[in-house]
């Protein structure tokens, strides 16, 4: 008899209902062309690769950081990118995330996001830190796995609405290369089969104890599979062995996922207003989660995956945030912290103390510092070309040259930002290609920082006289 209790899975004392994996990544638009660090097998950067151009030393250093993270040699340490605006600090941090792959949590935060009206600074940081620590949970589960040969859903009348039919159970035939089995699954599983749109030819597995259904993909070369939908799913091999078997399943959750889950469970008992109203997570919840995770690790069922917390524009952090981060870096469960700043010696926010990059010295001491340098015109030209391609802007050679010149004289970001308005200017003239004159026009309408300061100064003089 195939018995199903409810659609969640149970580990130790904590029950987890499908918590989504949080690999948060915003602020990505400007860096969508970056696919990785563009290094060769020896870790040396290629001049132009994976969307990155030049900045060779910084990229090589970032490659070493990735290797140290993979080997677990970065614990309790951090990285600081320093360099003038628009020299690729954020871009290289994004590249590090890409290199680390999906399984390593990477959380990006701009330091200004710490100042939220709803949460304390330390809570924002704490949540970010915990989102950046993964827990890989390994489990042996009894499952039914195979390609769906047949699926029949039995529906019955809705108990309160005789005109509606609701799924009651399903008869499903699963096959592997060596075995075939027909099982009847109850309502909870049937609903999942419908939600996932499971059809003939799909490879799926069903957890024999909890009834959780997982769709792996579409069976490669399965002759009976007929798909009328346009979207092409992932093609997978037909499984081998028995349909009913023990399978090792690996989930990666973050500590924050677990915190939210446990907190939500508690709140439903104690509050009528739901969890959303109260966004801070209590220390008790975190303690419970930490204890559970430690237990999983000591029992060999779980593994900690330290991820990366990237804090951009770090000079916006204040002394309180810095001391919180320093303490967090020392704790047992700490992610790798990557900071970026374009400031030189400046005051640490919230104090009168001057410090390199506005960062307290004791924290600086733990950071590996990677400098980025201004680009040469050739590199700027190459970056603009890549961005133009990414944004589907067609530049004439003259327009590219002008943008390169603007990029060298003002800033790379300004040149990149002019591209889109210039494209619209060209479009209004009925042209697809963007010419130098369109760039000129856009440049007159949108000034760079130096010009905008000039502009204010001019008027200040007028008014003050
Ligand atoms: N080496 C590079 N290769 C390709 N694109 C780059 C490179 N460096 C920077 N870019 C692109 O140029 C733009 C500006 O770079 P980025 O935002 O990384 O600068 P930054 O050093 O973080 O500046 P800031 O100090 O102002 O934050 C982005 O769109 C970025 O993706
Ligand atoms: Mg930046």
When pLDDT is cut at 50, 70 and 90, the band that residue 28 belongs to is very low
**Which CATH number does 377-455 carry?**
1.10.8.60
Mean pLDDT, the chain, whole residue set: 85
CA distance 275 to 264: 6
What pLDDT was estimated at residue 459? 78
Q: What is the 3-state secondary structure (H, E, C) of 153-210?
A: EEEEECCCCCCCEEEEEEEEEEECCCCEEEEEECHHHHHHHHHCCCCCCEEEEEECCC
SS3 11: strand
For the CA of 91, the nearest atom of ligand 1 = 18
CA distance 399 to 434: 7
For the CA of 342, the nearest atom of ligand 1 = 25
**Ranges in the chain annotated CATH 1.10.8.60:** 377-455
| Ligand showing the shortest atom-to-Cα distance for residue 30 | 1
**Ranges in the chain annotated CATH 3.40.50.300:** 33-132+307-371
**Ranges in the chain annotated CATH 2.40.50.360:** 9-14+138-251
Asked if residue 36 has its Cβ within 6 Å of ligand 1, the reply is no
**CA-proximal residue: ligand 1, atom 10 (nearest):** 88
346 vs 4: which has the higher pLDDT: 346
Asked if residue 38 has its Cβ within 6 Å of ligand 1, the reply is no
CA distance 433 to 211: 56
Q: From the CA of 10, how far away is ligand 2's center (Å)? A: 42
Asked if residue 407 has its Cβ within 6 Å of ligand 1, the reply is no
CA distance 98 to 208: 36
The fold for domain 33-132+307-371 equals: Rossmann fold (3.40.50)
Does the pLDDT value for residue 232 go beyond 70?
A: no
**Which CATH number does 9-14+138-251 carry?**
2.40.50.360
Does the pLDDT value for residue 278 go beyond 60?
A: no
The tens digit of pLDDT for each residue in 97-144 reads 889 877 788 898 999 988 877 788 999 999 999 999 999 888 888 999
Work out the angle between the directed axes of helices 89-100 and 56-70 (0-180°, nearest 10). Answer: 30
């Amino acid at each position: 008899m195939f018995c199903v209790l409810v659609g969640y899975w149970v580990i130790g004392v904590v029950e987890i209902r499908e918590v989504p994996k949080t690999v948060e990544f915003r602020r990505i638009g400007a860096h969508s062309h970056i696919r990785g660090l563009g290094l060769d097998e020896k870790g040396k950067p290629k001049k132009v690769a994976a969307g990155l151009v030049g900045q060779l030393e910084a990229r090589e250093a970032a490659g070493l950081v990735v290797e140290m993270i993979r080997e677990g040699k970065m614990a309790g340490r951090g990285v600081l990118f320093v360099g003038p605006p628009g020299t690729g600090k954020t871009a290289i941090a994004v590249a590090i995330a890409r290199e680390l792959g999906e399984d390593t949590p990477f959380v990006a935060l701009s330091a200004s996001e710490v100042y939220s009206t709803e949460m304390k600074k330390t809570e924002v940081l704490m949540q970010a830190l915990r989102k950046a620590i993964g827990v890989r949970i390994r489990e042996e589960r009894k499952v039914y796995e195979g390609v769906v040969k047949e699926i029949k859903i039995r529906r019955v009348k809705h108990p309160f609405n005789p005109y509606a039919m609701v799924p009651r159970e399903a008869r499903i035939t699963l096959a592997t290369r060596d075995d075939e089995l027909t099982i009847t699954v109850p309502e909870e599983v049937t609903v999942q089969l419908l939600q996932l749109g499971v059809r003939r030819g799909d490879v799926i597995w069903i957890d024999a104890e909890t009834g959780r259904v997982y769709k792996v993909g579409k069976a490669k070369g399965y002759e009976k599979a007929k798909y009328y939908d346009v979207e092409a799913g992932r093609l997978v091999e037909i499984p081998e062995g028995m349909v009913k078997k023990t399978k090792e399943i690996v989930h990666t959750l973050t500590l924050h996922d677990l915190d939210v889950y446990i907190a939500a469970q508690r709140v439903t008992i104690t509050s009528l207003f739901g969890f959303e109203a109260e966004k801070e997570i209590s220390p008790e919840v975190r303690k419970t989660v930490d204890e559970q995770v430690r237990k999983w690790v000591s029992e060999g069922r779980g593994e900690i995956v330290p991820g990366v917390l990237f804090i951009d524009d770090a000079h916006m952090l204040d002394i309180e945030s810095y001391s919180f981060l320093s303490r967090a870096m020392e704790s047992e469960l700490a992610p790798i912290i990557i900071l970026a700043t374009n400031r030189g010696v400046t005051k640490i926010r919230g104090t009168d103390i001057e410090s390199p990059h506005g960062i307290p010295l004791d924290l600086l001491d733990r950071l590996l510092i990677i400098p980025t340098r201004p680009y040469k015109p050739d590199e700027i030209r190459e970056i603009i070309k890549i961005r133009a391609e990414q944004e589907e802007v067609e530049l004439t050679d003259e327009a590219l040259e002008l943008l390169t010149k603007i990029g060298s004289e003002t800033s790379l970001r300004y040149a990149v930002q002019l591209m889109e308005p210039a494209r619209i200017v060209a479009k209004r003239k009925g042209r697809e290609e963007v010419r130098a004159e369109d760039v000129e026009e856009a440049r007159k309408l949108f000034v760079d920082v130096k010009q905008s300061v000039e502009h204010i100064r001019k008027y200040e003089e007028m008014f003050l006289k």
